[in-house]
Copies of this chain bind each other. A is one copy, B any other.
Amino acid sequence: MLIHNISQLLTLNGGPQRGKDLGRLGIIEQGAVLMRGDTIVAVGPQDELITKYPDEQRMDANGKVMLPGFVDPHTHLVWAGDRAVEFEMRLEGRTYLEILAAGGGIISTVKATRQCEYDDLYAQTRARARTMLRYGTTTAEAKTGYGLELKSELDQLKILLDLDDEGPLEIIPTFLPAHAIAPEYQTDPDGYTRLICEKMLPAAYEWWLKHETGRPLPFVDVFCETGAFSLEQSRCILTRARDLGFPLKIHADEFDNLGGAQLAAELGAASADHLVKTSSEDIAALAASDTVAVALPCTPFGLAETHYTPAKEILDAGGLLALATDCNPGTAWCENMQFVIALACRVLKLTPAQAIAAATINSAAAIQRDDRIGSIEPGKQADMILLTVNDYRHLGYRFGENLVNMVIKKGRMIPIV
């Protein structure tokens, strides 16, 4: 299948884009892409490709923009219920304690998720996965973390693998029992940390070996934050995970700076995520490493806060910057990477080109899949989206409407509008 008449073909070729290099879209005007099965075979100007492959079946892109499918490298996709009432209470000025007393907060989602039957939890998670796909995301990282006990955490991992098997959205799983202190250990966070290190991580490793289907090990992540896991507890968990062979991620500096960003760089984590209260030293440490800084602008937006990831400083320091939704029921129920791009242009001061690179090739790097997805290059998986517009800058410029016309996942075409 040869897709031609692409006004702007954004290849994002050449690998992850560091520092001020961010924003190289690798545009081919009047471009074409040849794919066979689930793989991209050739990319170039359409005149060239039509001459070289005259007998291929063709699809006319009608002069629209094509780019790699969005890669969303930080989501909490699997949960039950919602926290809409809590959102309203917060706007009415109720305090955090009042919300907790009314049954709100993360533990309310943990309870709902633990109680939810597998099929129901699968259906609720699948609906969000379908929404992501409809808005142009072709691969999403997705975390467990609303179980906080072994069985429930492993059930959530299973849902993520089953959803990935079903497709079309590809899911890269992350094991996150360290999302919050489990309700049973509220007064003994060290006890819960020990449980994770001594029981849950080894059990997850065994479980993975038993259930696994040729996939690499999932990521292990920690919420390093006041009220969640201290720097020492985070180090404990991540070190144990690393020793077992898991690749690492970390939630750092969302509300307080505990040193999580430097820990991520030190341990060679794939990414450090949130990064709002991040210092110049942290930024320098990240920039000197291969750890990707993942900005989650929907979270401060969702909470109506005004401090965001210092994206420009990260780029000035030579860091690798990616974007994600942080899709979750407490602070940011948003599946839509187009909105993340529009928001990032405004609150992180990225150009549309920078935001697009941060949402494709760099976010693929944040989940260590940039060898296979995140760009339109020969040999890569055929994950592409076609927009309804003929200039890529409409991503960012416009907000509120879905600009994706067609999603192509592993070579399969899924019309949207």
Contacts and interface: CB of A to CB of B under 8 A. Distances in A.
Interface of A: 82-85, 87-88, 91-92, 131, 135, 298, 301-302, 304, 306, 325, 333-336, 338-339, 345-347, 349-353, 391, 393-394, 396-402
Contact of A399 (B302, B345, B398, B402): B302
15 contacts: A84-B393, A87-B397, A88-B351, A88-B397, A91-B345, A91-B352, A91-B396, A92-B351, A131-B401, A135-B401, A333-B398, A334-B398, A334-B401, A335-B400, A336-B400
A306 B346 CA distance: 11
A401 B332 CA distance: 12
A401 B88 contact: no
Q: Which of A82, A333, A401 has the largest number of chain B CB atoms within 10 A?
A: A401
Contacts of A131: 401
Given A84-B352, A91-B345, A304-B345, 4 more contacts: A84-B393, A85-B391, A87-B397, A304-B349
Contacts of A87: 345, 352, 393, 396-397
A394 B82 contact: yes
Contacts of A336: 400-401
A182 B216 CA distance: 63
Copies in the complex: 2
A325 B398 CA distance: 12
Given A306-B306, A346-B304, A334 B399 contact: yes
A401 B352 contact: no
A82 B391 contact: yes
A210 to B, nearest CB: 36
A272 to B, nearest CB: 24
B88 A352 contact: yes
- Looking at A91, A92, A301, the one whose CB has the most chain B CB atoms below 10 A away is A91
Contacts of A85: 391, 393
Contacts of A350: 91
Nearest to A91: B351
Nearest to A393: B84
Contacts of A352: 84, 87-88, 91
A29 B31 CA distance: 54
- The 6 closest A-B CB pairs, nearest first, are A336-B400, A84-B393, A334-B400, A304-B346, A339-B400, A87-B397
Contacts of A306: 306
